[in-house]
Amino acid sequence: MELNGNVPSGPIAEKWTKYKSSMPLVSPDNKRRLDIIVVGSGLAGAAAASSLGELGYNVKCFTFHDSPRRAHSIAAQGGINAAKNYKNDGDSVYRLFYDTIKGGDYRAREANVHRLAEVSVDIIDQCVAQGVPFAREYGGMLDNRSFGGTQVQRTFYARGQTGQQLLIGAYQSLSRQISLGKVTMYNRHEMLDVVLVDGKARGIITRNLVNGKLERHAAHAVVLATGGYGNVFYLSTNAMMCNVTAAWRAVRRGAYMANPCYTQIHPTCIPQYGDYQSKLTLMSESLRNDGRVWVPKKMEDAKAIREGKKKGVDIPEADRDYYLERRYPAFGNLVPRDIASRAAKVVCDQGLGIVPTGLGVYLDFADAIQKYGKSKAHSMNLENPSAKQVWELGQKVVEEKYGNLFEMYEKITGEDPYTNPMKIYPAVHYTMGGLWVDYNLQTNIPGLFALGECNFSDHGANRLGASALMQGLADGYFVIPYTIGTFLANEIRTPKFDTNSQAFVDAENDVRSRLNGFITNGGKQSAESFHRRLGKIMWEYCGMARNAEGLTKARKMIQALKEEFYADLYVPGTADEFNPELEKATRVADFLELGELMCIDALQREESCGGHFREEHQTEEGEALRDDVGMAYVSAWGWKDTSLEPELNKEPLVYENIKVAARSYK
Amino acid sequence: MKLNLKIWRQKNAKDNGRFENHQVVANEHMSFLEMLDVLNETLISSQKEPVAFEHDCREGICGTCSLVINGQPHGPQNGTTTCQLHMRHFKDGETIVIEPYRAKAFPVMKDLVVDRSAFDRIIQAGGFVSVDAGQAQDGNAVPIGKEIASKAFDAAACIGCGACVAACPNASAMLFVSAKVSHLALLPQGQVEAKKRAQNMVHQMDEEGFGMCSNVTACEAECPKGISVENIARLNREYIGASFTANK
């Protein structure tokens, strides 16, 4: 089936403005009669719940955390993009739009991305007004830095904790609406199903994680803002509890999952060090503003470093390969994430890795310390400063910029990154794929909306740095408050829903029997152990490089693992109590199905684009080779009944404003 | 490394709870929570109930993890959350005592899990700027000095983990409340509502059953984010000032 993105007509720069002025509205009085469920309280969810509450709707907001402030948006480090052009360096809405489309390797919907670039400027204003303590210059103006894939400085930041500060801003707005009675907050409630009445999303089934009670909640519309599914790889930079269950339950009720194979592997994470490891830690992309990525040129040096006989600092300048600067002179260390990650894989595959596992490269700040030290000495009128003085001054500047990241690195690795270059390796970080939504952010199920990382809409096949925070807040503060009206304007006469209706009873029974199935399964292995095994399959065959043979094999392996899961899963305790193992089991069960769909999607997509690299489709220099004739579409998979093959729906990607070109950062 | 663990077990809020002894084999590169993961895997494989503890981001920013380790919230290392604490800071053969936070306002729910929703209610009482989406002026319209922005950030860096309450002999929440009051009172955007905010948040803090501050400053010593007790001084100033001048 061909899908329609419902993009409004007109020139791209006027679409959103015109659409906003002509879309159906819900009057203030009618808003009071309408109920909206928001699932998730991260940037997108908290922003949506508070903004919809401000408008006058009755909002119920759900999170499985103990508090809305814990959502994983909090861990975003580097920053948030906005086309403010405060730096006077040629930025504009068009340029942010263009960079994002190109960064996404021409696999995102033009109109959505342009809208994102337009509202980006409002987000910064909104956050400043909420009291977000962004970095400032001495004159009191907002400071900016650079991120990958751009040649302007448009990234706003709050030290290395931008996500935390933005989330706390959204959390505080949400808290205000809770205190005003416009939002009812349900902490420690996990959504386990979406309820459809006459084909429209009208409610959810949740489990109270404290006492295990299943609850039915009804509303006129349901908004999912439940994040990404990177944890399907088990090891990722996602928080431990991030999962796909809410989105996947929607898929099982008929929603489409779009481009599930587009996974972002972030180039700068702390390398893996042991089998017991539970997660990988990101080192912000902002570090690539000043850090230089390299490996030794000589095989014997790399080997000596791996065996602990040499250190990075022992390798003379001439024997280092700054491979990003060499391969991509125009963007250097600030190439987009997918490109930096693959380049790291290439050198490590050649045997030049510098950690015992062979999977690690250097991120070196020695030059930055020198550069900043000299400039600081100059500004202090120090004549002929000693090498030690320069180093100390430079170290201070670097500490001011990245102190908390360096500290975190030292805590985890026990090594001092000021004196020894950091060791990094790519890790799963973000998922561009997600629930298919139209221009209104509505899924193919009427009344069911998806925001933030949970949807697929804005990042194409690769997301640029500092764009996730932008999208989450754009969707929550400035898009859904308008677009939800296009659905709700036709619902003003719809009375409140009875949660004793058959649809709710059936959905609750489904959930109960699924949970009881896990509890009474009577096997031997923990959910965690299955999750680790799934992750290994995904990383091996559906990770940084994929091929048809591996993907076919992976699908079979996942099917076998799923069978073993249902035969030999052991969940301790009961369903009527606080039971984290039961929570894990429900999530792993859904990851198993999603993982299979990711392999199917990756196999079907016969091209390389962004985070999806098929070894069969590459140029002679090893760059990704897209197929703009055959594959310029969104793959939206329907998979209600997983005993059948999934059904592929396509939304053609039409580029009216940007010339589709080979993506070059050289 | 072999470790002896003395862990608090408590079925639910009504149960009395008791310590239980366990042994676990770990290595020094593991994080403290990964060590507990190993223990739980062992318990599950012998069909015993795993120890419930809270955790999420495991990078020291979400504030979900807690634990009192050998008498110290978040364990022995300064400026570190439990999830960022690594086993290299412990000795082979050591006995480690692991308890939940102890505070009237943070009731134990199960094993090492406590209910910290009192913090949410304190923020709801006034820990925000009353601005709706769409109302804001340009972000550069009001210049904010670099030092003020930086000070506000220092206060805003609080992760809401509750270690300050667990560290305090009075189980006071003054450091948490003062961090939010300071963050917003320092910035021009937050000054409009500063007086009412200080009064309402302090009132809610008392309602929740947190104790009084007696300047022990254990909160600052144990705070994983280094939130300073200077904020408490500022809160006191704001509160007293508000008591004399705010419109009731």
Taking only the tens place, the pLDDT of each residue in A519-562 is 999 999 999 999 999 999 999 999 999 999 999 999 999 999 99
Q: Which residue from B54, B200, B185, B182 is spatially nearest to B123, judged by alpha carbons?
A: B200
Whether A131 and B189 lie within 8 Å, measured CB to CB: yes
- CA distance to A64, A456, A580, A609, B20, per residue, from A212 (Å): 12, 32, 11, 43, 25
Helix (H, G, I), strand (E, B) or coil at A392: helix
Whether A122 and B149 lie within 8 Å, measured CB to CB: no
Residue with tokens 């950062």: A665
A605 and A261 in contact (C-beta within 8 Å)?
yes
**Residues of B whose CB is below 8 A from A573:** 49
Taking only the tens place, the pLDDT of each residue in A295-316 is 999 999 999 999 999 999 999 9
Separation of alpha carbons B69 and B32, rounded Å: 10
B149 → chain A, closest CA residue: A133
The DSSP bridge pattern shows strands A80-81 and A155-156 to be: antiparallel
Q: Indicate if the pLDDT at residue A655 is higher than 60.
A: yes
* Local confidence band at A600 (pLDDT 50, 70, 90 cut-offs): very high
**Residues of A whose CB is below 8 A from B153:** 133, 158-159, 165
What per-residue confidence (pLDDT) applies to B247? Answer: 62
- Residue A364, strand partner residues: A292
Does an H or E element contain A209, and which? none
Token pair in block for residue A242: 């991030």
Task: Tell me which amino acid residue A445 is.
Answer: I
Whether A129 and B86 lie within 8 Å, measured CB to CB: no
The one catalytic residue in A337, A533, A546, A626 is: A337
What per-residue confidence (pLDDT) applies to A639? Answer: 98
Whether B189 and A130 lie within 8 Å, measured CB to CB: yes
Task: Tell me which amino acid residue B214 is.
Answer: S
> CB A260: neighbour CB atoms within 10 A?
31
* Local confidence band at A664 (pLDDT 50, 70, 90 cut-offs): confident
Nearest-Cα distance to chain B for A2, in Å, is 36
Instruction: List helix spans (H) across A108-212.
Output: 110-130, 162-179
What per-residue confidence (pLDDT) applies to A75? Answer: 96
The DSSP 8-state label assigned to residue A453 in this structure reads G
Q: Which residue from A281, A282, A287, A272 is spatially nearest to A418, judged by alpha carbons?
A: A287
Whether A478 and B134 lie within 8 Å, measured CB to CB: yes
Q: Which of B109, B120, B190 sits opposite A578 (nearest CB)?
A: B109
Q: Stretch B133-162: mean pLDDT, rounded?
A: 97
What per-residue confidence (pLDDT) applies to B123? Answer: 98
The secondary structure of A489-544, three-state, reads CCCCCCCCCCCCCHHHHHHHHHHHHHHHHHHCCCCCECHHHHHHHHHHHHHHHHCC
A179 → chain B, closest CA residue: B124
* Local confidence band at A201 (pLDDT 50, 70, 90 cut-offs): very high
Separation of alpha carbons B178 and B174, rounded Å: 6
Site from A55, A64, A66 to mutate, B interface, most B CB atoms within 10 angstroms: A66
- Report all structural domains of chain B as residue ranges with CATH numbers, in order of start: 2-110 (3.10.20.30), 117-245 (1.10.1060.10)
Separation of alpha carbons B188 and B192, rounded Å: 8
Mean pLDDT, chain B, whole residue set = 96
Q: What phi, psi does A663 have (nearest 5°)?
A: -90, 115
Strand segments, DSSP code E, in A327-382 are 361-364
HSE on the CB side for A468, CA within 13 Å?
27
Q: Which residue from A228, A261, A263 is spatially nearest to A247, judged by alpha carbons?
A: A228
Q: Which class for A367: exposed (0-12), middle (13-18), buried (19 or more C-beta within 10 A)?
A: middle
Whether A141 and B140 lie within 8 Å, measured CB to CB: yes
B165 and B172 in contact (C-beta within 8 Å)?
yes
Of chain A, the percentage scoring pLDDT greater than 70 comes to: 100
Nearest-Cα distance to chain A for B88, in Å, is 9
Separation of alpha carbons B163 and B173, rounded Å: 9
Start and end residues for every CATH 3.90.700.10 domain found in chain A: 267-428
Q: Which fold has domain A12-264+429-488?
A: FAD/NAD(P)-binding domain (3.50.50)
Token pair in block for residue A14: 């006027």
Q: What is the ipTM of this complex?
A: 0.98
Whether A70 and B56 lie within 8 Å, measured CB to CB: yes
Nearest-Cα distance to chain B for A468, in Å, is 17
**Residues of A whose CB is below 8 A from B125:** 179
Whether B47 and A570 lie within 8 Å, measured CB to CB: yes
Q: Which of A128, A165, A185 sits opposite B156 (nearest CB)?
A: A165
Whether B45 and A128 lie within 8 Å, measured CB to CB: no
What per-residue confidence (pLDDT) applies to A11? Answer: 97
What per-residue confidence (pLDDT) applies to A665? Answer: 87
Q: How many residues are present in chain A?
A: 666
Q: Which of B29, B131, B133 sits opposite A478 (nearest CB)?
A: B133
Nearest-Cα distance to chain A for B25, in Å, is 12
Q: Indicate if the pLDDT at residue A369 is higher than 70.
A: yes
**Residues of A whose CB is below 8 A from B130:** 176
The DSSP bridge pattern shows strands A361-364 and A292-296 to be: antiparallel
Strand segments, DSSP code E, in A369-528 are 422-431, 434-435, 448-450
A185 → chain B, closest CA residue: B120
Mean pLDDT, chain A, whole residue set = 96
CATH code matching the domain that covers A502-648, chosen among 2.60.120.10, 1.20.210.10, 1.10.600.10, 1.20.58.100: 1.20.58.100
- Residue A650, strand partner residues: A2, A635
Strand segments, DSSP code E, in B10-74 are 18-25, 68-69, 72-73
* Local confidence band at A404 (pLDDT 50, 70, 90 cut-offs): confident
Whether A133 and B136 lie within 8 Å, measured CB to CB: no
**Residues of A whose CB is below 8 A from B30:** 274, 276
Nearest-Cα distance to chain B for A636, in Å, is 30
> CB A528: neighbour CB atoms within 10 A?
19
- The pTM of the full predicted model, rounded to 2 decimals, is 0.97
What per-residue confidence (pLDDT) applies to A662? Answer: 86
CATH code matching the domain that covers A267-428, chosen among 3.40.50.300, 3.90.700.10, 1.20.140.10, 3.20.20.70: 3.90.700.10
B153 → chain A, closest CA residue: A133
Contacts of B20 by beta carbon, 8 Å cutoff, 6+ apart: B6, B7, B8, B9
HSE on the CB side for A273, CA within 13 Å?
16
Nearest-Cα distance to chain A for B125, in Å, is 7
Token pair in block for residue A148: 């990958």
Whether B130 and A129 lie within 8 Å, measured CB to CB: no
Q: Which of B127, B145, B150 sits opposite A172 (nearest CB)?
A: B127
Handedness of CA B173, B179, B182, B184 (dihedral sign): negative
A609: left (phi over 0), alpha (psi -120 to 50) or beta: beta
B65 → chain A, closest CA residue: A70
What per-residue confidence (pLDDT) applies to A542? Answer: 98
Active site residue A337: yes
Q: Which of A130, A278, A580 sits opposite B129 (nearest CB)?
A: A130
What per-residue confidence (pLDDT) applies to A403? Answer: 86
Token pair in block for residue A387: 């090498």
Helix (H, G, I), strand (E, B) or coil at A518: helix
Residue with tokens 């791209």: A12
Whether B58 and A239 lie within 8 Å, measured CB to CB: yes
Whether B37 and A278 lie within 8 Å, measured CB to CB: yes
Token pair in block for residue A575: 């369903």
Q: Vertex A40, ends A130 and B196: CA angle to 5°? A: 30
**CA-based end-to-end distance of chain B:** 61
Taking only the tens place, the pLDDT of each residue in A2-14 is 999 999 999 999 9
Separation of alpha carbons B28 and B1, rounded Å: 7
Across the A:B interface, residue pairs with CB atoms under 8 Å apart total 208
Separation of alpha carbons A423 and A306, rounded Å: 12
Helix (H, G, I), strand (E, B) or coil at A367: helix
Token pair in block for residue A344: 């790291």
Taking only the tens place, the pLDDT of each residue in A445-503 is 999 999 999 999 999 999 999 999 999 999 999 999 999 999 999 999 999 999 999 99
Q: Stretch A420-437: mean pLDDT, rounded?
A: 97
Q: Stretch A419-438: mean pLDDT, rounded?
A: 97
Taking only the tens place, the pLDDT of each residue in A32-47 is 999 999 999 999 999 9
Handedness of CA A218, A221, A222, A225 (dihedral sign): negative
Nearest-Cα distance to chain B for A80, in Å, is 14
A341 and A267 in contact (C-beta within 8 Å)?
yes
Separation of alpha carbons A454 and A451, rounded Å: 6
Separation of alpha carbons A430 and A460, rounded Å: 12
Q: Which class for A611: exposed (0-12), middle (13-18), buried (19 or more C-beta within 10 A)?
A: buried
What per-residue confidence (pLDDT) applies to A127? Answer: 98
Taking only the tens place, the pLDDT of each residue in A129-151 is 999 999 999 999 999 988 888 89
Start and end residues for every CATH 3.50.50.60 domain found in chain A: 12-264+429-488
Handedness of CA B23, B25, B28, B32 (dihedral sign): negative
